[in-house]
Amino acid sequence: DTGVGKTWISQGLMRCLASSGKSVVGMKPVASGCLRTDQGLRNDDALLLQQAATISVAYELINPYSFEPAIAPEAAADLAGVTIDPRHIFDCYEELNSIADSVVVEGVGGWRVPLAGDYDVAMMARQLALPVVLVVNIRLGCINHARLTAESIRGSGMHLLGWVANHLNPAETNSYVVGMIDRALAAPCIGVVPLLPSSHLVSDYLVFP
């Protein structure tokens, strides 16, 4: 979902992989809410993934589709007169995959967010044939949301590699809720992450399977 901390967790996973000696890059295939710069549209999350990479790659490979309005990606693409092409996303991923040992791909909003017609985030994950890590922001309503998302991931034919309990609000820290989700998802919890001052610390709380 949007605002659950996917970018910080993605950076954490990248650093876990890098610590094992792998070359790692990140990818955020589609981003809205981008800022205009001298280099073109840039997304803060994609820039963070670029910074966490162990090798230097062009921004355009990390974030092939960037849009200025902070709205749903398909709507932003329509306003820009652009159709998101699954083939272009795949080609960018393949190029990254050819130069790095591992590519961590951050999703776009939630699992079923539409990107172009019937093509949505779930279809993108199937296209790239990647295992899925579900990030859950521990808050009111997260148990239902996590269970529904896990069901949808598996219903899409994808492998739920694990899930991360992310605490963005210290007032809602709840180990009982984390335990309930862990029992319900039937997938390993690969991290319980507290509210942190820096994304550089996230990897300390992750155990990559």
Catalytic residues: 28
Question: Shortest CA distance to 161 belongs to which of 122, 192, 195, 188?
Answer: 188
For residue 183 the two structure tokens come to 């029992």
As a 3-state breakdown, the chain gives helix, strand, coil percent values, each rounded to 5, of: 45, 20, 35
| DSSP labels, 61-86 | HH-SEE-SSSS-HHHHHHHHT----H
Cα dihedral 25, 102, 146, 135 in deg (nearest 10):
-40
Query: DSSP assignment of 93-154, as one string?
Result: HHHHHHH-SEEEE---SSTT-EEETTEEHHHHHHHHT--EEEEEE-STTHHHHHHHHHHHHH
